[in-house]
Amino acid sequence: MRLVVNPNQGTPGLVVLPASGFRRAKAAIMAWPGYAPTPLADLPDIALEAGVAAVRYKDESGRFGLGSFKALGGGYAVERLVAAACGALPVFTTATDGNHGRAVAWGARRFGARCVVFVHDGVSQGRVDAIAAYGAEIRREGETYDDSVRACTETAAREGWQVVSDTSWPGYTAVPIDVMQGYRLMADEAADAWEGAPPTHVFIQAGVGGVAAAVSVQMRARFTPHPALVVVEPERAACLLESCLAGRKVGVGGGLQTVMAGLACGEPSLLAWQELERAASAFMAIPDAVVAPAMRRLAGLGIVAGESGVAGLAALLLAAGDAVALRALGLEAESRVLLFGTEGATDAAVYAGMVG
Ligand SMILES: Cc1ncc(COP(=O)(O)O)c(C=O)c1O
């Protein structure tokens, strides 16, 4: 593993996600049919193993039947765009590692809109089929998530389609802000369900960093003192950790191969970086080898967690076995840790192959 403590934590900066936008997102999503908060599980055995006082796990596997928290973001952003549309609905399009595409396809189907989803070569057939099941047209372009983002934006510009991206870049921020405001509801529910003294640490996995930034903002809004935020990435796609080291937003190249399919992103989201560069306590990059054991550990407790969903737990267990990491993160016997299980078995065949 690699661990970088953020030297800029606590530096004042931009308000990336205004409170009013979250209030609007929360009211809208809570009015959707089938809305219910996802459970927050207490994991005392894992707390014992990690040598901390409490570990709680927010289990997103049941979110709107989509298997991940992503419905909160993509689904909400589509709803906002539909409300703003004059006349005919636009064609919605996005690039995805799997879960965001499913959320946008689901959101578009709610309104009977056409949806085109770009996937790269590494997206499993099971995940592609799940997106197509919501009526979206699939286009396979490029070798990585970042390639498919480019293919999506170029095609959208040519065809006049509406991009619903979970990542942001200069000049494209309004839609990803809505996506991230939707994600905040997951963290808000966790804060509602949290009992006793507030969490001291939050481990949250990152691809482009959108959900980590949303969790960061909401944890600050709900808990004082603010919990330490540990951002976890796959070691071959650690663009936020590298950005922290570089002191500015940088991308990482290569094939980004990792079993943590939802986290295989080489370019941080601009908005996410603006939040995390000053709010994250530390960035961790973890190897693939720790993922299947973490999935099996949760399966043994009756929790179904996918490859990307367990990254935070895997990072906690790695840190717990390393005296330097424990010290650097300030993890001790009194610590209370909040984990976000961001997905369930979003590809049943991959899950069965890893868990048995
Ligand atoms: C299950 C899961 N967890 C975490 C993430 C990371 O989200 P973000 O790209 O906003 O960092 C993703 C992204 O697709 C995901 O699918």
CA of 263 to the centre of ligand 1 (A): 6
Considering the domain architecture, whether residues 222 and 325 belong to the same structural domain is answered as yes
Regions in the chain scoring below 50 on pLDDT: none
Q: What does the DSSP 8-state code read for residue 63? A: G
Closest Cα to atom 12 of ligand 1: 262
| CA 292 – CA 310 distance, rounded (Å) | 9
User: Cα angle vertex 110, ends 107, 114, to 5°?
Assistant: 75
Residues 63 and 75 reside in one and the same domain: no
pLDDT of residue 174: 98
pLDDT tens, 259-288?
A: 999 999 999 999 999 999 999 999 999 999
Q: Is 233 in the pocket of ligand 1 (CB under 6 A)?
A: no
Output the pLDDT for position 13: 87
* Domain end call among 171, 188, 207: 171
Residue where one domain finishes, among candidates 125, 155, 171: 171
Q: Check: CB of residue 1 under 8 Å from CB of residue 238.
A: no
Domain identity same for 248 and 286? yes
CB of 347 within 6 A of ligand 1: the answer is no
Q: What is the reported pLDDT for 14? A: 87
Range of the domain at 105: 71-171
Residue 191 and residue 63 share a domain: yes
Residues annotated as catalytic are: 70, 97
Pairwise CA distance, residues 96 & 159, whole Å: 19
Among 342, 343, 346, which is best to mutate for testing ligand 1, by the most ligand atoms less than 8 A from CB? 342
Which residues does 23 contact at the CB level (< 8 Å), separation at least 6? none
DSSP for 124-175, written as a single string: -HHHHHHHHTTT-EEEE-SSSHHHHHHHHHHHHHHHTPEE--SS-BTTB-HH
Ligand 1 atom showing the smallest separation from residue 68 Cα: 1
State the distance from the centre of ligand 1 to the C-alpha of 101, rounded, in angstroms. 11
106/55 Cα distance (integer angstroms) = 32
CA of 30 to the centre of ligand 1 (A): 21
Establish whether residue 182 lines the binding site of ligand 1, counting it when its CB lies within 6 angstroms of any ligand atom. Answer: no
User: Ligand 1 test: best mutation among 58, 99, 275, 350, most atoms within 8 Å of CB?
Assistant: 99
Into how many domains does the chain fold?
2
Last residue of a domain, one of 171, 200, 232: 171
User: Would the CB of 263 count as within 6 Å of ligand 1?
Assistant: yes
**Is 194 found in the same domain as 304?**
yes
Q: Supply the pLDDT for residue 4.
A: 98
Q: Is 208 in the pocket of ligand 1 (CB under 6 A)?
A: yes
**Cα-to-centroid distance, 200 and ligand 1 (Å):** 23
Which residue has its alpha carbon closest to ligand 1 atom 14?
262
CATH of the domain at 60: 3.40.50.1100
Write the pLDDT tens digit of every residue in 77-113.
Answer: 999 999 999 989 999 999 999 999 999 999 999 999 9
Exposure class string for 37-50: b at 16+ Cβ within 10 A, else e:
ebbbbebeebbeeb
Whether residue 60 sits in one domain with residue 80: no
Ligand 1 atom closest to the Cα of residue 306 is 1
Q: Is the CB of 262 under 6 A from ligand 1?
A: yes
CA of 183 to the centre of ligand 1 (A): 10
One domain for residues 229 and 274: yes
Residues 318 and 191 grouped into a single domain? yes
- Is residue 98 located within the same domain as residue 155? yes
- Give me the pLDDT at residue 3, please: 98
The answer on 75 and 158 residing in a single domain is yes
242 shares its domain with 341? yes
Are residues 77 and 9 located together in one domain of the fold?
Answer: no
pLDDT reported for residue 59:
98
Q: What is the C-alpha to C-alpha distance for residues 107 and 115, in angstroms, rounded to an integer?
A: 9
Find the distance separating the first CA and the last CA of the chain, reported in whole Å: 26
